Amino acid sequence: MTEIPSLALVTGASSGIGAACARQLASLGYDVIAGARRVDRLNQLALEHPGITAQELDVTDQGSVDRLAAKLGGRPLAVLVANAGAAFEAEQIENADLAGWQAGYELNVIGLVRTVKAFLPSIESSGHGLIVLMGSTAGYIPYENAGSYTATKHGVAAIAGTLRLELSGRPIRVTEIIPGMVRTDEFSVKRFGGDEARAAKVYEGVKEPLTADDVASAVAWVAGLPAHVNIDRMVIRPVAQAAQHKVHRVLTD
């Protein structure tokens, strides 16, 4: 009898870290469901990488999450990478765009809880489940002009710690991946309302910020550990970033 590959679900998989996680987990032999709203991108990802199945998923929509949970048909879920998230504004709190704050909270916090809640029974039924929450160094150290993002990522850190306590004694690992400066195609552009020049300034002079594949490699490593080994938190920064406010930049005239 042919053994069915273990199942993994990656949310926010249409680009960046999520797409990289889907590719690397598939390379490890997982049967990967890549979930996101932009199905055209997911279809291309699935076409290029055997082992990946595209699935429309909006974690801010309860119906969308419930439909995917039902599609599992009772199949155990070995790995959930709850990656869907974004920053929607970059203003000082006194000038806060409250719509951006609300969108960030709905996606990064409520969407995360909705996803974990819906798939937890499938994760537990695997007998050795892993939940990976995509946090950020912003979830531990706030910085200027990022109140909405840092607030939601502090929420992710709290959710990770709470889950670990509440799931104690059950066969589920909970890992929070905490990247620092990662350069992806879309994150900063979205954060600055499509202003590509302003987004580029974030990485100006930084020779080698992290890439999506760097972060995905950490997720794949955690997924490959024995089931009794839990990595609570993993902070990942580029060498150029010694701390949140200490980044080595090489600027030319």
Catalytic residues: 149
The 3-state DSSP class for residue 133 equals strand
| Rg of the chain, C-alpha, whole Å | 18
DSSP 131: E
| Cβ partners under 8 Å of residue 231, min gap 6 | 173, 175, 222, 225
Closest CA to 154 of 162, 142, 167: 142
Question: How far lies 5's CA from each of 9, 210, 211, 235, in Å?
Answer: 13, 30, 28, 29
Closest CA to 21 of 133, 186, 136, 116: 133
